[in-house]
Amino acid sequence: MDKARPLAVADARRKADIYATAAGARIGRLMVLTEEPGRPPIVSFPRAYAAPAFAPTPIEAGEDKLTMIVTTRFELTQ
């Protein structure tokens, strides 16, 4: 998550710059920065109740997706 935080802020600054340019302004200093908690992953155990207690735990290949949500407010300048 610590690697995702600077990327999220950089993306927010990039988007703010696009909006400011479209409005004929420029972004100034960062006024507000908040981080929203991400959603916990959904864990599913479809076979947990059907399998006997001595069955090995299946391990499936896959990826975890981490989401970082930040809210920023920048000063607008002319």
- pLDDT tens sequence across 44-60: 555 555 555 666 777 77
Q: Is the pLDDT of residue 77 over 90?
A: yes
Distant-in-sequence, close-in-space partners of 24: CB < 8 Å, separation ≥ 6: 78
- Rounded Cα distance between 75 and 20, Å, is 10
Per-residue pLDDT of 11-45, as tens digits, reads 999 999 999 999 999 999 999 999 987 666 566 55
Tokens of 25: 């302004």
**Does the predicted model carry a pTM greater than 0.95?**
no
- Picking from 32, 31, 39, the residue whose alpha carbon sits closest to that of residue 71 is 32
